[in-house]
């Protein structure tokens, strides 16, 4: 296989043409939507290049240049472009195309979600609507007229302000929208449908009134309140934190059931996966509530970091995504517990981003080579990208970070820029040199820090020697030293001191004087850099950090390190005797006063994914058995304490405040341990029956599935009957069944695949069964019969034709085969080889399969 179509960052050339204005007219029909696209184009370089417009899966009806129809000999058409050989400098080009939204199962371009029309144009979906310069550095003023049947589609929406509306013949009507801001076509959006609308308004700091409109399926209005509140909080936070105010008179959000990703920040008209809009007590968990708020914030924050200042090219994706994720993480931390939010972000990074960085698709946060751009909406670009911004925040400090941001907007408002432009603005705005720091943008892989300590009692000198290891990879054989901010705390009997040191060489010594006794180091406070740490501290030291460190991340991490050590010991030797000290430490967490949400995190074992990352070629079953052993050990050792806490926190009426959410989390962690003990089997059954909220309902069913409880089938049936009509809860229903942890899972999966509500074309549903099984049922996904791998591969093959983006995301657990033992590697590889021989292999899958098998 070759990758001659891959694009390379170094090949970037500015466009020879600018599009000054784009006037669109859509006449909507399920299988034959007509799109008239009138562009005012200007040649901006003196090169005599032809105009090459991007286009895919389009039926070309006509092309006019300055109102004169071109004959077929005056343009060239192929599968991906329309070339017009003109020498004109300044002209009007009108392209008419026809598209088929109903059969657009890839959900890129214009498609149908249920009865509504909607669009998704990022990254390169606009070219499935019309021929265009589909690149983010071509920015135009858009006017959009939408025509559709009035009864079926009472709401016709697009970006900007409504400038005209009226009735037409044959029961049709139209609305015309104009967006006063220049924008690249990836931020274009159109929605047409029949909705319930939640309306509100927000008055900005400067006193402008903004209309807020949230469009949901009919009947879902009460589930939109939380999203609306979240939007207002986001608007206020961005004003207060970054001095950024909203800029249009209207902000619209539409929730749809068919969507590949979480949501999309189209200017003035966000389109959301309904999963990140709808929430109420009975159908949404605490995590769902949290995520709705975070995604609403994320898309809102893009209005400045993404829309007002956008990316020059798609290699710069992290310019907007890393920065916007950092902003939404800060927002969530401010709205909730900053410590718990941070810990949860770190868990995701360690479990998933580290794996990506160690796998065949590893790439720097600014990739250098791309075959299918949709493959680069990754944990690396998003989450590691946010860590890189966080490190700048740490190096500059809050005030200088803000100065840098102010300069960034001053310099680049209305422009399409690069990651280097961003870092330069941060450096110039703060006066801090970030030139070495820039390497984070071009280097893939997770750095490892090797930390050694020494103590000179006579000199009262404590020394830390820190080395950084940036392992060469297939993609990058030579790596350079990074600039790594390390926060730490030195704990001694009478004082605690916090330090920020920066490691810039491959090895450096850091000296701390005035210690008569060796201090204990709480290292990498707040997880100040996205690195692995190799620092062999003694167990007693970790135990002390668990209770004494000022930073909650350090306290949590010390506990996780202890647990991790014992899990490693159990993997080596299943007869390893776990120390009673562990029970004592856990008992302290459980019984001493403290924040319940943080306790829940401290009592949660490292996940299978986090642990896999720390091994080479692990037998997954051995690792799962070790986890099971330590879980049982703690459950048995602390059964009465877990039960006491569980009872203390049970039976309270549902409330949605931070304290109650934390207490629910703690209660359910206790329940999780107890569910593994035969004496406590009735607890999950009772909790399911008595729960007055989805968090508790789901927890009960979840633990039954994980312990393959005999009561599961009866209670999940009840759950299904109750929620049959509610798609987002049916996703949960499929997900729970996919987690059932015994041999019967394969029969269950076979039945579920035939379920009338199992709709492969719906990405949420596909993920809820196939994704949940392959990510979260590792014992059976990795079972030696190979059935788990075959199950995933079979569905990936089917999705290759239906929705390549979803197929390409689901394949992740298979391409990470190198992490596992040789038997499993061989079986996983066989599936990948079979997939690579599919007749219509999509670009998305091809890129990943080439990387994994090459």
User: Which are the catalytic amino acids?
Assistant: 299
Q: What is the total residue count of the chain? A: 854
CB of 382 to ligand 0A1, least distance (A): 7
Interaction partner, residue 14 (Zn ion, ligand 0A1, none; CB < 5-8 Å by kind)? none
CB of 565 to Zn ion, least distance (A): 37
Give the up-direction half-sphere exposure of residue 435: CA atoms within 13 A in the CB hemisphere. Answer: 1
Of the residues 126, 315, 377, 791, which one makes contact with ligand 0A1 according to CB under 6 A: 377
Q: Tell me whether residue 318 or residue 528 sits nearer to Zn ion (CB atom).
A: 318
Give the interface segment with Zn ion, choosing from 273-281, 318-326, 347-355, 431-439 (CB under 5 A).
Answer: 318-326
CB of 424 to ligand 0A1, least distance (A): 24
CA dihedral 128, 159, 300, 364 (to 10 degrees): 30
- Please give the backbone phi and psi of residue 130, each rounded to the nearest 5 degrees, phi first: -155, 165
One character per residue 315-354, x = contact with ligand 0A1 (rule: CB under 6 A):
------x---------------------------------
The reply to whether 307 sits near ligand 0A1 by the rule CB under 6 A is no
Are 363 and 371 in contact, with CB atoms under 8 Å apart? Answer: no
From the CB of residue 287, how many other CB atoms can be counted at a distance below 10 Å? 14
CB of 178 to ligand 0A1, least distance (A): 23
CB of 302 to ligand 0A1, least distance (A): 7
SS3 524: coil
Of the residues 191, 256, 261, 405, which one makes contact with ligand 0A1 according to CB under 6 A: 261
CB of 826 to Zn ion, least distance (A): 38
C-alpha–C-alpha distance, residues 168 and 298, integer Å:
38
Residue 485, CA distances (Å) to 101, 389, 427, 480, 549 in order: 49, 12, 16, 16, 19
Give the up-direction half-sphere exposure of residue 187: CA atoms within 13 A in the CB hemisphere. Answer: 31
Q: Tell me whether residue 386 or residue 745 sits nearer to Zn ion (CB atom).
A: 386
Q: Tell me whether residue 121 or residue 524 sits nearer to ligand 0A1 (CB atom).
A: 121
Interaction partner, residue 377 (Zn ion, ligand 0A1, none; CB < 5-8 Å by kind)? ligand 0A1
Q: Tell me whether residue 153 or residue 259 sits nearer to ligand 0A1 (CB atom).
A: 259
Q: Tell me whether residue 296 or residue 738 sits nearer to ligand 0A1 (CB atom).
A: 296
| Contacting residues for 377 by C-beta, under 8 A, at least 6 apart | 123, 261, 317, 321
CB of 592 to ligand 0A1, least distance (A): 40
Are 268 and 252 in contact, with CB atoms under 8 Å apart? Answer: yes
Q: Tell me whether residue 328 or residue 421 sits nearer to ligand 0A1 (CB atom).
A: 328
Residues of this chain, 82-121, that bind ligand 0A1 according to CB under 6 A: 120
CB of 250 to ligand 0A1, least distance (A): 20
Interaction partner, residue 600 (Zn ion, ligand 0A1, none; CB < 5-8 Å by kind)? none
Give the interface segment with Zn ion, choosing from 324-332, 384-392, 494-502, 590-598 (CB under 5 A).
Answer: 324-332
Q: Tell me whether residue 254 or residue 701 sits nearer to ligand 0A1 (CB atom).
A: 254
CB of 567 to Zn ion, least distance (A): 35
* Interface with Zn ion: number of residues (CB under 5 A): 2
CB of 259 to ligand 0A1, least distance (A): 7
Strands 7-8 and 369-370: antiparallel
Interaction partner, residue 180 (ligand 0A1, Zn ion, none; CB < 5-8 Å by kind)? none
Give the interface segment with ligand 0A1, choosing from 76-84, 220-228, 259-267, 773-781 (CB under 6 A).
Answer: 259-267
C-alpha–C-alpha distance, residues 545 and 521, integer Å:
8
- Please give the backbone phi and psi of residue 19, each rounded to the nearest 5 degrees, phi first: -110, 115
Q: Tell me whether residue 137 or residue 601 sits nearer to ligand 0A1 (CB atom).
A: 137
The reply to whether 260 sits near ligand 0A1 by the rule CB under 6 A is yes
CB of 136 to ligand 0A1, least distance (A): 11
Give the interface segment with ligand 0A1, choosing from 38-46, 258-266, 420-428, 821-829 (CB under 6 A).
Answer: 258-266
Interaction partner, residue 127 (ligand 0A1, Zn ion, none; CB < 5-8 Å by kind)? none
3-state secondary structure 700-733: HHHHHHHCCCCCHHHHHHHHHHHHCCCHHHHHHH
DSSP string, 439-453: GGGT--S--EEEEEE
From the CB of residue 431, how many other CB atoms can be counted at a distance below 10 Å? 10
Of the residues 156, 190, 264, 381, which one makes contact with ligand 0A1 according to CB under 6 A: 264
Tokens of 670: 């206790």
CB of 95 to ligand 0A1, least distance (A): 23
Residues of this chain, 228-257, that bind ligand 0A1 according to CB under 6 A: none
- Rounded to a whole number of angstroms, the distance between the first and last alpha carbons of the chain is 9
The reply to whether 262 sits near ligand 0A1 by the rule CB under 6 A is yes
Interaction partner, residue 330 (ligand 0A1, Zn ion, none; CB < 5-8 Å by kind)? none
CB of 324 to ligand 0A1, least distance (A): 7
Residue for token digits 């008992």?
587
C-alpha–C-alpha distance, residues 150 and 142, integer Å:
23
C-alpha–C-alpha distance, residues 683 and 690, integer Å:
10
| Contacting residues for 138 by C-beta, under 8 A, at least 6 apart | 15, 17, 18, 19, 184, 185
Are 191 and 116 in contact, with CB atoms under 8 Å apart? Answer: yes
The reply to whether 122 sits near ligand 0A1 by the rule CB under 6 A is yes
C-alpha–C-alpha distance, residues 697 and 716, integer Å:
10
3-state secondary structure 263-313: EECCCCEEEEEHHHCCCCCCCCCHHHHHHHHHHHHHHHHCCCECCCEEECC
Q: For ligand 0A1, which residue has the nearest CB?
A: 261
Q: Tell me whether residue 299 or residue 313 sits nearer to ligand 0A1 (CB atom).
A: 299
From the CB of residue 487, how many other CB atoms can be counted at a distance below 10 Å? 20
Interaction partner, residue 650 (Zn ion, ligand 0A1, none; CB < 5-8 Å by kind)? none
Residue for token digits 């004109």?
88
Q: Tell me whether residue 213 or residue 383 sits nearer to Zn ion (CB atom).
A: 383
Q: Which of 586, 604, 597 is nearest to 666 (CA)?
A: 597
Strands 141-149 and 17-27: parallel
Give the interface segment with ligand 0A1, choosing from 60-68, 261-269, 386-394, 604-612 (CB under 6 A).
Answer: 261-269
- Please give the backbone phi and psi of residue 852, each rounded to the nearest 5 degrees, phi first: -75, -35
Q: What angle do CA 724, 729, 734 make, to 5 degrees?
A: 85
- Please give the backbone phi and psi of residue 170, each rounded to the nearest 5 degrees, phi first: 60, 30
SS3 177: strand
SS3 592: coil
Interaction partner, residue 260 (Zn ion, ligand 0A1, none; CB < 5-8 Å by kind)? ligand 0A1
Give the interface segment with ligand 0A1, choosing from 231-239, 262-270, 458-466, 652-660 (CB under 6 A).
Answer: 262-270
Q: Rg of the chain's alpha carbons, rounded to an integer?
A: 28
The reply to whether 139 sits near ligand 0A1 by the rule CB under 6 A is no
Q: Tell me whether residue 322 or residue 662 sits nearer to ligand 0A1 (CB atom).
A: 322
Q: Tell me whether residue 373 or residue 638 sits nearer to ligand 0A1 (CB atom).
A: 373
The reply to whether 374 sits near ligand 0A1 by the rule CB under 6 A is yes
Q: Tell me whether residue 80 or residue 604 sits nearer to ligand 0A1 (CB atom).
A: 80
Residues of this chain, 763-822, that bind ligand 0A1 according to CB under 6 A: none
The reply to whether 293 sits near ligand 0A1 by the rule CB under 6 A is no
Hey, which bits of 470-598 come out as E strands? 484-491, 496-503, 507-513, 520-523, 532-534
Are 46 and 108 in contact, with CB atoms under 8 Å apart? Answer: no
Contacts with ligand 0A1 by CB under 6 A lie at 120, 122, 260-265, 298-299, 321, 374, 377
Contacts with Zn ion by CB under 5 A lie at 321, 324
């Amino acid at each position: 296989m070759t990758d001659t179509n891959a694009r390379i960052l170094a090949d970037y050339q500015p466009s020879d043409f600018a599009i000054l204005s784009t006037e669109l007219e859509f006449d909507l029909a399920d299988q034959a939507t007509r799109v008239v696209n009138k562009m005012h184009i200007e040649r901006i370089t003196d090169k005599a290049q032809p105009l090459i417009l991007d286009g895919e899966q389009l039926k070309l009806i006509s092309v006019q240049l300055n109102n004169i129809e071109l004959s077929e000999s005056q343009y060239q058409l192929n599968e991906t472009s329309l070339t017009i050989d003109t020498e004109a400098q300044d002209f009007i080009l009108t392209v008419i195309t026809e598209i088929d939204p109903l059969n657009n199962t890839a959900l890129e371009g214009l498609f149908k979600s249920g009865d509504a029309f909607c669009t998704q144009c990022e990254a390169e979906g606009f070219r499935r609507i019309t021929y265009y310069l589909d690149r983010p550095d071509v920015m135009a003023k858009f006017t959009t007229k939408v025509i559709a049947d009035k009864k079926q589609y009472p709401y016709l929406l697009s970006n900007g302000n409504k400038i005209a509306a009226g009735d037409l013949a044959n029961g049709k009507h139209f609305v015309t929208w104009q967006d006063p801001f220049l924008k690249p076509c990836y931020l274009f959006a159109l929605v047409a449908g029949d909705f319930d609308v939640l309306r509100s308004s927000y008055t900005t700091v400067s006193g402008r009134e903004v209309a807020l409109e949230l469009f949901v399926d009919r009947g879902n209005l009460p589930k939109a309140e939380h999203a609306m509140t979240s939007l207002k909080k986001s608007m206020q936070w961005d004003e207060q934190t970054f001095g950024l105010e909203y800029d249009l008179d209207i902000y619209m959000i539409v929730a749809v059931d068919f969507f590949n990703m979480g949501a999309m920040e189209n200017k003035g008209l966000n389109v959301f996966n309904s999963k990140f809009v709808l929430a109420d007590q009975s159908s949404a968990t605490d995590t769902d509530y949290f995520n709705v708020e975070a995604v609403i914030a994320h898309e809102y924050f893009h209005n400045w970091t993404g829309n007002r200042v956008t990316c020059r090219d798609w290699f710069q994706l992290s310019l907007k995504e890393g920065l916007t994720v950092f902003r939404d993480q800060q927002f969530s931390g401010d709205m909730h517990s900053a410590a718990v939010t941070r810990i949860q972000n770190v868990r995701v990074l360690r479990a998933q981003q580290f794996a990506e960085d160690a796998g065949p698709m590893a790439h720097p946060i600014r990739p250098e080579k791309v075959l299918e751009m949709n493959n680069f909406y990754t944990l690396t670009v998003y989450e590691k990208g946010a860590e890189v911004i966080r490190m700048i925040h740490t190096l500059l400090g809050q005030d200088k970070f803000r100065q840098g941001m102010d300069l960034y907007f001053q310099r680049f408002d209305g422009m399409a820029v690069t990651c280097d432009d961003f870092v330069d603005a941060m450096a110039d705005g703060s006066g801090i040199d970030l030139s070495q720091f820039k390497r984070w943008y071009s280097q893939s892989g997770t750095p490892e820090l090797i930390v050694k300590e020494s103590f000179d009692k006579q000199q009262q000198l404590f020394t830390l020697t820190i080395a950084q290891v940036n392992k060469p990879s297939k993609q990058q054989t030579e790596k350079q030293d990074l600039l790594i901010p390390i926060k730490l705390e030195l704990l001694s009997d009478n004082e605690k001191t916090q330090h920020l040191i920066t490691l810039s060489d491959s090895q450096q010594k850091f000296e701390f004087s005035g210690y008569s006794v060796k201090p204990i180091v709480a290292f990498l406070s707040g997880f100040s850099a996205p690195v692995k740490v190799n620092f062999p501290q003694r167990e007693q030291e970790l135990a002390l950090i668990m209770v004494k460190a000022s930073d909650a991340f350090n306290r949590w991490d010390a506990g996780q390190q202890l647990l991790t050590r014992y899990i490693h010991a159990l993997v080596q030797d299943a007869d390893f005797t776990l120390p009673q000290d562990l029970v004592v430490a856990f008992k302290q967490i459980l019984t001493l006063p403290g924040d319940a949400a943080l306790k829940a995190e401290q009592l949660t074992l490292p996940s299978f994914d986090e642990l896999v990352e720390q091994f080479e070629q692990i037998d997954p079953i051995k690792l799962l058995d070790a986890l099971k052993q330590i879980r049982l050990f703690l459950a048995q050792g602390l059964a009465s304490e877990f039960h006491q806490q569980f009872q203390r926190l049970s039976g309270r009426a549902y409330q949605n405040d931070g304290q109650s959410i934390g207490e629910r989390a703690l209660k359910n962690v206790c329940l999780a341990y107890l569910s593994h003990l035969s004496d406590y089997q009735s607890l999950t059954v009772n909790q399911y029956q008595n729960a007055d909220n989805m968090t508790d309902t789901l927890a009960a069913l979840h633990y039954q599935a994980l312990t393959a409880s005999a009561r599961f089938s009866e209670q999940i049936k009840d759950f299904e009957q109750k929620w049959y009509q509610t798609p987002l809860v049916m996703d949960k229903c499929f997900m729970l069944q996919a987690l059932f942890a015994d041999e019967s899972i394969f029969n269950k999966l076979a039945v579920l695949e035939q379920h009338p509500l199992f709709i492969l074309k719906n990405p949420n549903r596909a993920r809820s069964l196939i994704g949940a099984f392959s990510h979260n049922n590792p014992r059976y996904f990795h079972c030696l019969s190979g059935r788990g791998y075959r199950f995933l591969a079979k569905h990936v093959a089917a999705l290759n034709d239906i929705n390549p983006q979803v197929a390409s995301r689901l394949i992740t657990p298979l391409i990470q085969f190198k992490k596992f033992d040789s038997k499993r590697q061989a079986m996983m590889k066989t599936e990948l080889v079979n997939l690579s021989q599919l007749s219509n292999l999509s670009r998305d899958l091809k890129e990943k399969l080439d990387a994994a098998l090459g």
